[in-house]
Amino acid sequence: MLRSRPLRDRLALSPFWLVAALVALHLSALLMKHLLGVTDQQPWRFFHHQFNLDRELNIATWVATLLLATAAALLLINAVEQRLTAQRGWRHWGGLGMIFLLLSLDEMCSFHERLSDPIRGALDADGGLFTNAWVLLAAPAVLALLIAYLPFLWRLPAASRWRFIVAAVVFVSGAVGVELFSGAVRDRFGFEDFRFALITTLEELLELVGVALFLRALVLHMAAAEVVPRLVAAAGGGTAGPDAAE
């Protein structure tokens, strides 16, 4: 069970090893393209495409999607446990689970990027900071989500609360903050420029580290709150403890 410290620690750290491997492969792909110039040849072209974090429909995208989907699954497990044990936080856990499920789908299909053209058209703006105009919708959505979840966060144990907050800040810094400026860099220097590659690397790194931090926070929270044993007991008709963490 997750109460076993070695198992808990291995599970909590495993996303970081995966992220580290993925980023190392991505940096190798950038090195081959921008410094060695060998990506016009096979198998280097295949390698560059598959492990470039800024490309779609490749191994890197699949790994990022898997991390987000894993977070969604853990959140929904928390929601089910809270629901079966009659805790009031189940809707918040379930809502987060659905958000991460949508994020995993978006990571694979890039739905958000299709919003930029109509937003630029509505604002009669183009280029610069408006290149990734979808961020103008994402920023207020993130703020509204934060406001809606403040009571839920406050009820969490302090350790879990701050782990979740740090993970969210890191993730949003990349997904919204750096993304806003990466569009301006791409607009000025072009999609294939090394400077654009560097800023997108920072963006993707922050997103991946944010998700890894969030997964670690979830594993540690579930271990401390004994979510899995309580879920098994509740599903089997047993009685859960009265003082479960949110």
- 3-class SS at 88? coil
Residue 27 counted as domain residue: no
Residue 29 counted as domain residue: no
Which pLDDT score, from 0 to 100, does residue 26 have? 92
Residue 243 counted as domain residue: no
Residue 110 counted as domain residue: yes
Please check whether residue 23 is in contact with residue 212, taking contact to mean a CB–CB distance below 8 angstroms.
no
Q: Which residues of the chain have pLDDT under 50?
A: 1, 239, 241-243
- The two tokens of residue 207 are 């997103």
Residue 25 counted as domain residue: no
**Residue 43, preceding peptide bond in cis (omega within 30° of 0):** yes
Please check whether residue 71 is in contact with residue 100, taking contact to mean a CB–CB distance below 8 angstroms.
yes
Which pLDDT score, from 0 to 100, does residue 242 have? 45
Residue 159 makes CB contacts below 8 A (sequence gap 6+) with 220, 224
What is the full DSSP assignment across 191-215? TT-HHHHHHHHHHHHHHHHHHHHHH
The alpha carbon of residue 21 and the mean position of all alpha carbons in its chain are separated, in whole angstroms, by 17
The pTM of the full predicted model, rounded to 2 decimals, is 0.89
- 3-class SS at 147? helix
- b/e 219-243 (16+ beta carbons within 10 angstroms → b): bbbbbebbbebbbebbeeeeebeee
Domains contained in the chain, number: 1
Domain that holds residue 129: 67-235
Residue 97 counted as domain residue: yes
Residue 54 counted as domain residue: no
Residue 154 counted as domain residue: yes
